[in-house]
């Protein structure tokens, strides 16, 4: 039973009980309506209280029902609210902890609302590219005012109940309970106090106006347009709330319904809903059950105080976990600590971090030149130079000093985690933790699962990732793991596009217009073009037949490594990050074309986008069929959180499915016929070819 019915004297209490957040699934909705029927049939019952068991009043729609027929089956949420409004006995919502989405809409349908302090109140539908679809846009403005309601609906952010309760004139809460503990008693008493009140008040009957009318909504539309460029939902939220002020309630409700249904079908909402589920699914590893025991992580060691070591350390300090950083030389430690301090001080200056918090964090940090000081660490993360020999020295040392059961992690970007594990006598405790730069900022963490990595090590690392606010995605062992292995294909295409007639800024602009945070050439300049150069040199030995544009090597031969050398694919004014097209680079590319006998052609933006994105998709499909990633959503999460892939497109695999895999394969076959491209790279991955032929999608 997902809604319980009890009678306390003359008050019936319907308690939603659908853990974890009392989602309003079909069984719960039925339970509410059945409870109302019972209460109305019982002459001894004078009033009804609806509340939630456990840690929520209600978090809204049941996500398990998302996209299924169940969410529409009667009684749907509209019908439940209608049954409450038509109930002949007063219905009081007793709200606590979490009251969101459909949960708030349900409460707004009740005749009265009593709220506990500390309750998060929100209509977060916009975060899924939607708007509240069960009267939220029509009822909320009537009780908190048009502007406050629109702010909540457009942002989707939660507001605390005591804040709303303290606003003069608000009609959302009829009473604030003294505390969450006293809510049940106070709600019962309140229900008794209104048992005889007639007519019963309905939010729908309250007036809804904004004094400035059209001017206000015009202003709101402009604000929203600037904030949410790629998403249609916020502007539709404005339309819906405007309808609340201009139309009769029933007509406003119909407008809301129509807007909701239209948004449901937009690719942007589909992308956001995909992201919502992919994010939750990424933390689940198919063969590692959620009840796998976890190791205790009370103290962390970090080896190397360079670019990555410092950022990695900050993540743990921010979460209140003590860190000891080890280096080979005192100067390197001093430099590393100074960078951490500089980063924190910048946050303090911007008002993002309080001075005392900064001091608390620094107090958790210690440094050492001696491995013995790491012997009580529960997790040790290595971030030294990217050379197998150096990693070998470090892991052999760690094997000697680390306590039994300590997790030994490597932040390597390209090296074989199984080889690193083999440097120890405890390969089951070794795992890859691939942070992205800057490690204190970037959300993505690729957790690299070695051949022998123990399940409880994985479970622990996934849990600690959550604690330090990272989005962790599990990758198997392969060159580049999920993200960098795919980006290599993308960079390869970017190079070919230059060969064939594009300029760096044309390529960057096209893909940035598609929605990427940064095009490949601006990205190269930021990360350092020498990194790719080193990888290509290695590839030239390992895979001599691999095809690349020579332009990137020519660029590096000129010392144009990117922002750090003041010039790369673009020129940079001293101290500035604005990318200025470089005549030297344009001449270099033109000369290269002449030398290679290539007649440049005009390449369309559409082709640029397709070649860059589909190259990711094909490699992603290979990664999926090799089992390096366990689900396509994981690949999307990597790209959305680590590579600036546009959120509104839902990640490369989701986007390809939206375009239609058949169409993607067709385009790939076209590109394969281009003699200047790499036909082998466009050979569709068998999985992709099969799904395309069957008319299926990745997810
Ligand atoms: N920089 C990036 O963008 C990035 C991103 C992801 C992963 N990584 C990986 O992180 C690791 C570190 O990269 P980085 O950019 O921080 O390098 P870095 O050169 O900035 O820092 C490496 C640090 O390790 C120290 N070190 C070297 N050998 C050591 C040893 N034997 N014992 C203790 N300390 C030692 C060096 O003194 C230096 O301070 C590499 O494996 C790299 O592939 C780098």
pLDDT, tens digit (0-9, with 9 covering 90-100), for 114-167: 999 999 999 999 999 999 999 999 999 999 999 999 999 999 999 999 999 999
**Same domain? 452 vs 543:** no
Of 475, 501, 529, the residue that ends a domain is 475
- How far does the centroid of ligand 1 lie from the alpha carbon of residue 386, in Å? 6
Beta-bridge mates of residue 160: 120
The answer to whether residue 274 sits within a structural domain is no
Please give the Cα distance from 504 to 325 (Å, whole number). 40
Any idea what the CATH number is for the domain that residue 355 is in?
3.40.50.720
| Mean pLDDT of all residues in 645-653 | 97
- How far does the centroid of ligand 1 lie from the alpha carbon of residue 612, in Å? 30
Any idea what the CATH number is for the domain that residue 665 is in?
1.10.1040.50
Instruction: State the Cα angle at 80 between 234 and 58, rounded to 5°.
Output: 60
**Same domain? 170 vs 189:** yes
Q: Dihedral (C-alpha) 486, 492, 495, 499: value to the nearest 10 degrees?
A: -140
The answer to whether residue 149 sits within a structural domain is yes
Which are the catalytic amino acids?
A: 105, 125
Any idea what the CATH number is for the domain that residue 217 is in?
3.90.226.10
For residue 557 the two structure tokens come to 């031969």
Contact between 232 and 268 (Cβ < 8 Å)? yes
**Is residue 1 pLDDT above 80, yes or no?**
no
Helix (H) or strand (E) holding 578: none
The answer to whether residue 100 sits within a structural domain is yes
**Same domain? 459 vs 507:** no
For residue 294 the two structure tokens come to 């976890």
For residue 468 the two structure tokens come to 């330090």
Q: 449 pLDDT band (50/70/90 cuts)? A: very high
Contact between 474 and 458 (Cβ < 8 Å)? yes
**Same domain? 564 vs 629:** yes
- Asked if the bond preceding 408 is cis, omega within 30° of 0, the reply is no
**Same domain? 312 vs 247:** no
Please give the Cα distance from 620 to 614 (Å, whole number). 9
**Same domain? 489 vs 467:** no
Q: Which of 384, 443, 484, 564 to mutate to test the pocket of ligand 1 (most atoms within 8 A of CB)?
A: 384
Phi, psi angles (nearest 5°) of residue 47? -155, 165
- Count of alpha carbons within 13 angstroms of residue 99, beta-carbon side: 30
The average confidence (pLDDT) of the chain is 96
Three-state SS for 501?
coil
Q: 72 pLDDT band (50/70/90 cuts)? A: confident
Please give the Cα distance from 638 to 633 (Å, whole number). 9
Measured from the Cα of 384, ligand 1's closest atom is 24
**Same domain? 556 vs 652:** yes
Parent domain of 514: 483-693
The answer to whether residue 285 sits within a structural domain is no
What residue owns the CA closest to ligand 1's atom 3?
437
The answer to whether residue 283 sits within a structural domain is no
Question: How far is the first Cα of the chain from the last one, in angstroms, to the nearest whole number?
Answer: 32
**Is residue 536 pLDDT above 90, yes or no?**
no
Phi, psi angles (nearest 5°) of residue 14? -100, 120
Q: Which of 306, 381, 441 to mutate to test the pocket of ligand 1 (most atoms within 8 A of CB)?
A: 306
If you write DSSP's letter for every residue of 69-135 in order, what string do you get? Answer: GGGTSSS-HHHHHHHHHT-SS-EEEEE-SEEETHHHHHHHHSSEEEE-TT-EEE-GGGGGT----SS
- pLDDT computed for residue 125 by the predictor: 97
**Same domain? 260 vs 395:** no
Would you say how long the chain is, in residues? Answer: 699
- How far does the centroid of ligand 1 lie from the alpha carbon of residue 453, in Å? 23
The answer to whether residue 615 sits within a structural domain is yes
Alpha helices in 468-528 (DSSP H): 481-500, 504-514, 520-527
Of 415, 441, 475, the residue that ends a domain is 475
**Is residue 322 pLDDT above 90, yes or no?**
yes
- How far does the centroid of ligand 1 lie from the alpha carbon of residue 305, in Å? 7
- pLDDT computed for residue 64 by the predictor: 81
What residue owns the CA closest to ligand 1's atom 6?
436
| Mean pLDDT of all residues in 456-463 | 98
**Same domain? 578 vs 550:** yes
**Same domain? 490 vs 468:** no
- pLDDT computed for residue 532 by the predictor: 87
Q: Which of 301, 302, 303, 304 to mutate to test the pocket of ligand 1 (most atoms within 8 A of CB)?
A: 304
The answer to whether residue 591 sits within a structural domain is yes
**Same domain? 79 vs 118:** yes
Of 264, 284, 313, the residue that ends a domain is 264
Measured from the Cα of 412, ligand 1's closest atom is 41
- pLDDT computed for residue 474 by the predictor: 98
**Is residue 469 pLDDT above 90, yes or no?**
yes
Residue with the two structure tokens 């119909």: 254
The answer to whether residue 275 sits within a structural domain is no
**Same domain? 538 vs 613:** yes
**Is residue 396 pLDDT above 80, yes or no?**
yes
* Number of domains, the chain: 3
**Is residue 267 pLDDT above 70, yes or no?**
yes
């Amino acid at each position: 039973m997902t809604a319980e019915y009890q009678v306390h004297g003359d008050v019936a209490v319907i308690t939603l009980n659908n853990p974890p957040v009392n989602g309003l699934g079909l069984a719960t909705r039925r339970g509410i309506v059945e409870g109302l029927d019972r209460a109305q049939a019982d002459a001894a019952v004078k009033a009804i209280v609806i509340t939630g068991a456990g840690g929520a009043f209600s978090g809204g729609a049941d996500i398990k029902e998302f996209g299924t027929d169940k969410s529409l089956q009667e009684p749907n949420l509209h019908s439940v609210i209608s049954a409450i409004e038509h109930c002949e006995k007063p219905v009081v919502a007793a709200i606590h902890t979490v009251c969101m989405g459909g949960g708030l809409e349900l409460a707004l349908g009740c005749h009265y609302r009593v709220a506990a302090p500390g309750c998060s109140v929100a209509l977060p539908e916009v975060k899924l590219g939607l708007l509240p679809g069960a009267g939220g846009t029509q009822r909320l403005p009537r009780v908190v005012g048009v502007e406050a309601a629109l702010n909540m609906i457009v942002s989707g952010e939660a507001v605390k109940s005591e804040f709303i309760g303290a606003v003069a004139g608000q009609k959302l809460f009829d009473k604030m309970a003294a505390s969450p503990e006293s809510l049940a008693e106070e709600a019962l008493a309140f229900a008794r106090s209104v048992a005889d009140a007639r007519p019963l008040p309905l939010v729908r009957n309250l007036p809804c106006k904004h004094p400035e009318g059209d001017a206000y909504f015009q202003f709101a539309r402009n604000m929203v347009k600037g904030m949410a460029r790629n998403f249609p939902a916020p502007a539709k939220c404005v339309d819906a709330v405007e309808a609340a002020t201009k139309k009769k309630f029933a007509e406003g409700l119909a407008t809301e319904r129509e807007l909701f249904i239209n948004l449901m079908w937009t690719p942007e909402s589909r992308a956001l809903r995909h992201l919502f589920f992919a994010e939750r699914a990424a933390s689940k590893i198919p063969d590692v059950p959620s009840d796998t025991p976890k190791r205790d992580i009370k103290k962390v060691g970090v080896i190397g105080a360079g670019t990555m070591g410092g950022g990695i350390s900050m993540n743990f300090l921010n979460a209140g976990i003590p860190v000891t950083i080890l280096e080979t030389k005192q100067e390197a430690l001093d430099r590393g600590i100074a960078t951490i301090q500089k980063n924190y001080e910048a946050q303090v200056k911007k008002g993002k971090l309080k001075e005392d918090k900064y001091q608390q964090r620094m107090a958790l940090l210690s440094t050492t030149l001696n491995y013995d000081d790491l012997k009580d660490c529960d997790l040790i993360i290595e971030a030294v130079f990217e050379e197998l020999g150096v990693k070998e020295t470090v892991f052999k040392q760690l094997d000697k000093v680390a306590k039994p059961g300590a997790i030994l992690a490597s932040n390597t970007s390209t090296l074989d985690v199984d080889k690193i594990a083999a440097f120890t006598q405890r390969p089951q405790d070794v795992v890859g933790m691939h942070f992205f730069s800057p490690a204190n900022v970037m959300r993505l963490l690729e957790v690299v699962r070695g051949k022998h990595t123990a399940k409880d090590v994985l479970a622990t690392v996934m849990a600690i990732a959550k604690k330090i606010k990272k989005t962790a995605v599990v990758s198997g062992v392969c060159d580049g793991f999920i993200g960098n292995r795919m980006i290599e294909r993308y960079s390869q295409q970017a190079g070919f596009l230059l060969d064939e007639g594009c300029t760096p800024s044309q390529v960057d602009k096209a893909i940035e217009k598609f929605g990427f945070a940064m095009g490949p050439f601006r990205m190269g300049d930021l990360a350092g073009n020498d990194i790719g150069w080193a990888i290509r040199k290695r590839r030239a030995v390992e895979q001599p037949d691999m095809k690349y544009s020579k332009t990137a090597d020519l660029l590096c031969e000129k010392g144009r490594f990117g922002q750090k050398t003041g010039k790369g694919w673009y020129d940079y004014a001293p101290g500035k990050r604005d990318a200025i097209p470089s005549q030297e680079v344009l001449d270099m590319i033109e000369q290269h074309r002449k030398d290679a006998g290539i007649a440049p052609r005009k390449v369309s933006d559409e082709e640029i986008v397709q070649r860059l994105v589909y190259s990711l998709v094909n490699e992603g499909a290979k990664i999926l069929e090799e089992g390096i990633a366990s689900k396509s959503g994981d690949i999307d999460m990597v790209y959305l959180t680590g590579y600036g892939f546009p959120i509104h497109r839902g990640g490369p695999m989701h986007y390809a499915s939206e375009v239609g895999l058949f169409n993607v394969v067709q385009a790939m076959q076209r590109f394969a016929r281009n003699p200047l491209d790499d036909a082998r790279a466009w050979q569709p991955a068998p999985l992709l070819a099969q799904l395309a032929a069957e008319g299926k999608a990745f997810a």
